[in-house]
Each structure stands twice: as C-alpha cells, then as structure tokens.
Structure 1
Amino acid sequence: MIGIIDYGMGNLYSLSKALERLGYSYEFVSVPERLQEYTGLILPGVGAFGDAIANIRELGLEQGIQDYVASGRPILGICLGMQLLFDKSEEHGEHQGLSLLGGEVVRFQGDYKVPHMGWNQLKISTNSNLPLLEGVADGDYVYFVHSYHVRVKDRAALLATTEYNQDVTAIVGQGNVYGMQFHPEKSGDTGMRLLRNFAVQCEGVLA
C-alpha cells in the first residue's frame, strides 16, 4: 500500500483520486511511526517551502522520511513535495530542506510570466532509461504550476527537463528517491502513466 504524507499542505484529493483510478490502494499518513508500514510514499505539496518544511518538522516527520529512504523503499515528491527533497530553498528567505537530493530551489528570474503555469513538453535526459519513465516519450506534455524551480547539483539525478525561457528541472531520480515538478495527477495520460510506473515499483516491496 502507498502512503500519501499529509502534513497540511498537499493536493490530497486529486492525487488520491488518481491512485483510485489506477486501482492502487493508499492511505493518508501524518504520524512518523506509521511511515514504515508502506511499500511506497508520496510527498505532495502546494504552497510555500518554509511553511511546508516547518509543518513536516512540527509533526516529527523529517526523521521518519529520512529513515524510510534509508530503508531503500521508493518515495516520490510532487511539485512543492519535490522541492522539499532538496537541500534548501530561497523562497521567502533561506530554508533547509530534507537533503535527500543535492540542489537548491530558486525563483524564476527574467522578463517573462511568473508563475510558470500550463502545459509544457518533457525533454527526457539521455541517462533516463529507468522504469519510472517507461512509456513516456520525449515531447509528451505535462501540467506545471510553480514560481520556483530546482537547480540540481548532480546532473545524473536529472531525468527530464522542460523549456520555460531556460531548461527547467521536471523529473529527478536518484536511487529510490524521485520527484516531479509538475502535477502528474493533472497531466492526462502521461501523468497517469508516470504515477502507474511509480506504483508498479512499490508493488512487491516489503513494508
């Protein structure tokens, strides 16, 4: 079963409905002691980085998430949830993240519309021959809503980008830690395929 981490700032309804459509069981979890019960975790997120990481720490979830990742089981961060996986963010001051992946979250800078909102094409990295991306093609469209983006420290963790006046991190993966800057649950067939691919990886994992 997949655990959806509920720390008060996630887009829980649409994500849970997407998993239901795919036929996968899930539970919302906000107690750190229960994280280890699941074969996969999803960390969603909508809102500001500082508020989100503060909520996670207030609930005592940070160590539980890190212990879960150390167990080798898969975790997926979505939108703000992906950003929280990294070292730090400059959103409304500097905030330390979960440091499960190396990199920092910075604001879009330039003479163009912010937030980045709408459908954009994926550009799959050449090193991205992973089960998570099975059936996903270069040029497939997904749906973004964000004002901040991730500068990844290790390029090997960069699985896909999109173009928004620059190359923008879209999908990351390193070991058992994955992230998607866009909302797969709102990204049509491509998003559902990505969620299914993640859920497949969670199958057969011993909780």
Structure 2
Amino acid sequence: MSDPVRVGIIDHGSGNLHSVERALRKVGATVTVSHDLAVLDDNDALVLPGVGALAACMAGLRAMGGDHLVHRWVDEGRPVLGICVGHQMLFERGRERGVDVECLGVLPGVVEELPARRLPHMGWNTVDPAARTRLFQHVGDERFYFVHSYGVLVDGHDDHVTAATHQGVTFVAAEEVGSVTSTQFHPEKSGAAGLSLLQRWLAVVS
C-alpha cells in the first residue's frame, strides 16, 4: 500500500482553505495548510486556492513569495492545482473592475468579466471534457459547483481545455497542462463528483 500523497495548501490570505483541506483529507491525502514556503515545499503536490478579488489574491501571494514557489514548482514539473481564483491566478493577466492585474503567466489567457446577462454564474453546471484530459474522461453528465463572474473565454479549440457554458458564454472550466491542473469550479463544494475528481488528481500525481 502506497503512502498518502502529501498536499500543501498555500495560505496567501484568501481562499476556502479548510473546505479544500477537508475534501482532500476525505479522499486520502495528508494535508498541510501554511504560508511558510519551506513547509509548503516539503510536499508531493501543491494547491493554490483563492476567493474574492483577483488583485488582492495576487498581492497576498506575492507578499509571501508564493509566486516564486509556484513558478519553481511548474519549472520543475511538480504538480500544482489551482482552484477558483487560484485557477485565474495561473493565467497571464486579468481585467477586473477597471484594474489590470498581472498574474502568474503559467497558462495563456486573460481573465475578464463574462459577457453574460446574469452574473455571477453561481450553481451547478456540466462540463465539456478536453480531448487530452486525464481527469474528466468519465464525468458524463456530472455537475460541478461554480461561483464566479470572471473567467477565461474559450477562443478556438484547445486539447487541454475542459469548457463550460453559462448563458451562451463558453469559458475555461478546467485546464490540464503538464504538471499543472486548474479548475474554475470548486471541487471541494461539488459533492461526490468533486471528491471523485480530487481522488483522480491524487492518483495522477502520486
């Protein structure tokens, strides 16, 4: 029997830290929540959470040096999972309430307000799995929980992008590139479907 995957959750001051922690523990991970870079670095996988304003989350991450940590993990091919605003932080930049936010630039794309009549996009939604997905192959009509007004619009075809649609607007629901996985939805709030997804992620990164 293999040892549990050790997951570090970055505490940059804004995120559903404890709900993510509980969900990961429930599917068998050993979890540490910390703002200490050395403690976070001593794990098998890293989670970048985030809720609220993108600019505030990026400021908190940079203040603790977490941006350098994430970049180094990506460069070294170590597994990173972004969730909600943590997902958005992995892209090149964001435009939020007239503010241009420089993000991590790990993934190509710009975070912007969804051009939908009703915002936020809040509640359960299905996803259209990426062609080269490892995590969404068997989701079928399973639903995941979203709560956001901003996202990265889907422009053309990308084998790594799992998409979702809200009021005719198609956006990136998840992305899998190399060792990086990110979800706009909250797997920790998505019931059995979310737990199964986290379990598959742990299996991939172990």
Calculate the TM-score normalised by the size of structure 2: 0.90
User: What amino acid is aligned across from residue 3 of structure 1 in structure 2?
Assistant: G
Q: Which residue of 2 aligns with 1:52?
A: 57
Q: For the structure 1 residues 148 and 156, does the alpha-carbon distance in structure 2 shift closer, same or farther, using more than 3 Å as the test? A: same
CA-based RMSD:
1.7
Is 1:181 equivalent to 2:184 in the alignment?
yes
Please say if residues 170 and 181 of structure 1, whose CA atoms lie closer than 8 Å, have aligned partners that are also in contact.
Answer: yes
Q: 1:39: Cα distance to partner?
A: 0.7
Please say if residues 5 and 42 of structure 1, whose CA atoms lie closer than 8 Å, have aligned partners that are also in contact.
Answer: yes
Is 1:70 equivalent to 2:75 in the alignment?
yes
Is 1:90 equivalent to 2:95 in the alignment?
yes
Separation (CA, whole Å) in 2 of partners of 1:186 and 1:99: 27
Cα distance per residue 1:3-41 (max 9 Å; x no partner): 011101010111111112112111012122333211101
Cα distance per residue 1:29-76 (max 9 Å; x no partner): 212233321110111111100000001111111111101111111101
User: Structure 2 matches for 1:10-159, cutoff 5 A?
Assistant: 10-92=15-97, 93-110=99-116, 112-125=117-130, 127-130=131-134, 132-137=135-140, 139-151=141-153, 155-156=157-158, 158-159=160-161
Identity %: 35
Unaligned stretches of 5+ in structure 2?
A: 1-5
Cα distance per residue 1:104-131 (max 9 Å; x no partner): 1000224x21100011111113x2342x
Q: For the structure 1 residues 159 and 39, does the alpha-carbon distance in structure 2 shift closer, same or farther, using more than 3 Å as the test? A: same
Please say if residues 15 and 185 of structure 1, whose CA atoms lie closer than 8 Å, have aligned partners that are also in contact.
Answer: yes
User: What amino acid is aligned across from residue 142 of structure 2 in structure 1?
Assistant: D
Task: Give the secondary structure class of the aligned counterpart of 1:156.
Answer: coil
Please say if residues 117 and 146 of structure 1, whose CA atoms lie closer than 8 Å, have aligned partners that are also in contact.
Answer: yes
Cα distance per residue 1:129-167 (max 9 Å; x no partner): 42x225422x22111000101136784364311110211
Separation (CA, whole Å) in 1 of partners of 2:39 and 2:72: 12
Please say if residues 35 and 68 of structure 1, whose CA atoms lie closer than 8 Å, have aligned partners that are also in contact.
Answer: no
Paired residues in the alignment total 199
